[in-house]
Amino acid sequence: MVMRRRGWLPVAVGIGIGLNTVRLRARLHALEVIEAVEIDAGEKAAPGTARSSPYVLLCAPGLALTPGQRRAAEAHAHRHGLEVLDLVPAELAAHRVLDLARMVEPATYRAARLARGRGAFQAVLVDRGVLARTGLPAAADPRLVERSELTDFADAELVAVIQVCKRHAAASTDLAVLPGLAGRVRDDGATRLPVQRAAYAWEPARRVLPALRDGAILLGAASNPPAALAALGMSWLQPVIVGGGRVRVTSGTLRRSALTRRRAAAAQLRGSGGRLRELFGAPPNPSARPTAAAAPVGGPSPRRPNPAELARRRAGYRADLAGGLDRFFERPRNTCPWCGGGELSARLLGRDVAQGKPGEFRYDRCASCGHVFQNPRLSLAGLEFYYRDFYDGLGATALEEVFGFSPEPYLDRARQAIPTPRNWLDVGGGHGHFCNVARTVWPGTRFDALDIGAGIEEAARRRWVDHAYRGFFPELAAEVKGRYDVISMFHYLEHTRDPRAELDAAAAVLEPGGHLLIEVPNPDSPAARLYGALWPGWLIPQHQHLMPAANVAVALQERGFAVQETRFGEVHQKGDPVMALYGLLQRLAPSPSAAWRTAAVPRRAWAARALTAAALVPAFAGGLVLDEVSRPYLTSGSRANAYRILARRL
C-alpha cells in the first residue's frame, strides 16, 4: 500500500514540472529583444576602446560585444530611459536558461522598486553616473579612463554588481535579449553554485527545491517507473521549452544538462556544514578570500562579515563593556513623561533580543494615562551603544532585507485620502524605503527624508529621496518650516526621547491644511500581553515610549490638529509569533559570532545555537500558522499591533 501511494509522487511532480514550465516560458517571453542598428564604417572601433558614451560595459571573461551590438544595446537603453541594462545572451547553457527564468519576472522587474537585482549575470550596461554613485570598485578602475568596458568579472561578482546597481537605479533597471550574443561556448556549470549562493543569499530554500523535486521522483520510481521516467524527461527538456523563441539552449549543453544541473545540488550537500555555520552565526573563516560577491558595496555579505572589520568592532565593544553598563542609563524618574502623573507601575522587564546585547531594561506604565515608557531611559551614550550595528555597520545588510521584503506596507501608508502632495517629508526615514515606493502612488511628489543615522545619506545617494536631512527633527524644524504639505512619522515616535517635542516640531513646520501621518506600535494590543518582552513591538531597548492611540489624538488636538482618522485593522503587521520565537532563540542561545560577545568555546556555543534552532523549527512552523489564524481576531476593533493616525493642521 505504501509503495502504491508513493507511485503518485512522480505523477504529481510531473504535473508540477509541466505547470512550472508554462510559467517560466511566459516569463522569458516577456523579455524584450534589442533591435539591431546600422553603424558607419568610421564607428567600427575595436571593442573596449573608449568613446563618447554615458555607459560602461561590465561583463564576464570570454564575452565581447561587437561595435554593432554595443551600439544597439546603448540605443535600447537610451530609448527606454534605462540606466542599467542586463544583456541576456540570445544563446545560453541549459542550466542558465532555467536560472534566469526562475530568478526574475521581466514583466514587472523594472517597476518593482524594491526588487533584488537579477539577470543573466553575463554582461551589464551601466550608466557612468550610476556606477559612480554605487561606490563599486569598478567605478574607480583606472582602466575606464581609456576603455569603456571591463571584462574580468566572475559570474558571482556580477550578481553583486547588478544587485547594487538595481538599488541605485530602482526604476531604470531592466533586462533585454541581445541578438548575436552567446554565452560561453563551454559552460560546465562550475560557476552555478557561487552564483546561486550570491543570488539566493536570503532565500536558501530556493536552492534546495530542485533537490526536493528529484528526491520525490526517486522515492516513487520503484512504484511507478513510467511516471518517474516521464517526469525526468520533462525536467531534462524543460530548458528548451522555457527558452524557445527567446533564448536558445547552447548546442551540446542540453545533452549533459541533467548532470550539470545536479552538480550544484551535490556541491551544496557536500558544503552543508558551512551553510549551517552561516545560518546560525558561526565565526567566519578568516582565511577566506573576499570577492566582490562576498563583500558587496554597502556592507559585508549577509552571513559573513569581513573578518578584519569584525575584529575591529569586537575590540570597540570590549572597551565599551569594560566600563560597565551604568553609564548607559540616566536616573530613574518617578513621574510620567507624558502627563506628569505620579502613579507608576512596572509594565515589564526585558532584554535586548534583537541583537542580544547585555543589559536589563524596565518599562513603567502610568495609571493616569496608560503611557508606557523606559525607566530609567538610555543616555545618549547608551543609545549609541545599543543602536550600533543594527541599522548600519554589521547589521546593514540584514536590515536591508527586512525593510525591502515587500512594498505593500509602504504602499498602504502612501495611499491616503489627501490632496495630491507637492512636498512630503518622511521623518525617521531610515534608508528611504518608504519614499522609494511611495513614488509609485504619488509620481509627481517630491519626497525628502530626515533621520539621525548614516542610512539617510545612502538613501540620497540611491536617489530614493530627493533631499536628505541628517539630524534631530526638533533642531531642524526652523530650517524646514513651511516647506512641506505632508509630514510622516512611521514607527518613529516610539524611538524618540521626547515624543511630545516631536509633535511640537511637526505643528511648527506644517502650515494650515498640511497633513501629519503617524504610525506606531499599539501597547494595548493583545499581542503585547501574549508575547511579553519578546513582542517585537517593544523592540527593547530602542523603543523608549509606547503611547495609547487616545493619548496621541489628544496631544495632536492640543497642538492645533484635527484628527481625521485613527486606523487599526489593516495596519496590523505580520510576523509577531515568528519574531518572538527568534527572540527566544537569541535569549537561549545567542549568536557566538556577534561582535559584542566573546564565547569561551566558540564551537560549543555554535553547536548550542544550532541545536536550539533545530529544536525550535516546529515552533517556527506553528508560528506561521498562528500568525494567519489569529489575524482576523487581531485586525478587528482596536486589537492590531500598530495603529495609524492621519491629522490635518488647522
Is the per-residue pLDDT at 257 higher than 90? no
| Backbone conformation region of residue 137, classed left if phi is above 0, alpha if psi is from -120 to 50, else beta | alpha
User: What nine digits make up the cell of 334?
Assistant: 518617578
Pairing state of beta strands 446-451 and 467-470? parallel
Nearest to 200 by CA among 106, 99, 284: 99
The DSSP bridge partners found for residue 518 are 489, 645
Compute how many other C-beta atoms are within 10 angstroms of the C-beta atom of residue 526: 14
Q: Which residue has the higher pLDDT, 304 or 221?
A: 221
- 3-state DSSP assignment of residue 314: helix
Q: How far apart are the first and last CA of the chain?
A: 75
Contact 643, 549 (CB under 8 A): yes
Contact 71, 45 (CB under 8 A): no
- Which H or E run includes 51? none
User: What nine digits make up the cell of 424?
Assistant: 512630503
Per DSSP, helices labelled H in 244-289 are 257-270, 272-280
Q: What is the mean pLDDT of the chain?
A: 87
- Residues 6 or more apart whose CB falls under 8 angstroms from that of 321 comprise 358, 596
pLDDT for 186 equals: 58
* pLDDT tier for residue 31 given thresholds of 50, 70 and 90: very high
Q: Where are the beta strands (DSSP E) in 93-246?
A: 123-127, 149-150, 173-182
Most confident range, picked from 29-43, 161-175, 218-232, 301-315: 161-175
- 3-state DSSP assignment of residue 343: coil
Tens of pLDDT, residue by residue over 423-471, are: 999 999 999 999 999 999 999 999 999 999 889 999 999 999 999 999 9
* pLDDT tier for residue 16 given thresholds of 50, 70 and 90: very high
Cα 410 to Cα 437: distance, rounded to the nearest angstrom: 6
Structure-derived torsion over alpha carbons of residues 538, 544, 549, 550, reported in degrees to the nearest 10: 140
Cα 189 to Cα 239: distance, rounded to the nearest angstrom: 14
* pLDDT tier for residue 297 given thresholds of 50, 70 and 90: very low
Compute φ and ψ for 649, nearest 5 degrees. Answer: -75, 125
Tens of pLDDT, residue by residue over 523-549, are: 999 999 999 999 999 999 999 999 999
Mean pLDDT of 559-565: 97
* pLDDT tier for residue 289 given thresholds of 50, 70 and 90: very low
pLDDT for 6 equals: 79
Radius of gyration of the chain from Cα atoms?
27
User: What nine digits make up the cell of 208?
Assistant: 534546495
**Whole-model pTM?**
0.89
* pLDDT tier for residue 125 given thresholds of 50, 70 and 90: very high
**What angle do the packed helices 8-29 and 94-103 form, to 10 degrees?**
80
Chain CA centroid to CA 182, Å: 32
Contact 544, 497 (CB under 8 A): yes
Compute φ and ψ for 225, nearest 5 degrees. Answer: -55, -40
User: What nine digits make up the cell of 447?
Assistant: 519626497
Q: Percentage of residues in the chain with pLDDT exceeding 90?
A: 65
Mean pLDDT of 266-291: 42
Tens of pLDDT, residue by residue over 32-43, are: 999 987 665 555
pLDDT for 259 equals: 72
Tens of pLDDT, residue by residue over 198-242, are: 888 888 777 778 878 888 888 888 888 898 899 888 888 899 999
- Residues 6 or more apart whose CB falls under 8 angstroms from that of 564 comprise 646, 647, 648
Mean pLDDT of 611-625: 94
Is the per-residue pLDDT at 322 higher than 50? yes
Is the per-residue pLDDT at 630 higher than 90? yes
Q: Which residue has the higher pLDDT, 183 or 638?
A: 638
Mean pLDDT of 347-375: 96
pLDDT for 47 equals: 52
User: What nine digits make up the cell of 104?
Assistant: 526574475
User: What nine digits make up the cell of 269?
Assistant: 550537500
pLDDT for 564 equals: 97
Is the per-residue pLDDT at 154 higher than 90? no
Tell me, what DSSP letter sits at residue 419?
P
Q: Which residue has the higher pLDDT, 196 or 507?
A: 507
Contact 295, 301 (CB under 8 A): yes
- The CA-based angle 477-481-519, given to 5 degrees, is 65
Mean pLDDT of 634-638: 95
- Cβ burial 612-643 (10 Å sphere, 16+ → b, else e): bbeebeeeeeebeeebeebeeebeeeebbbbb
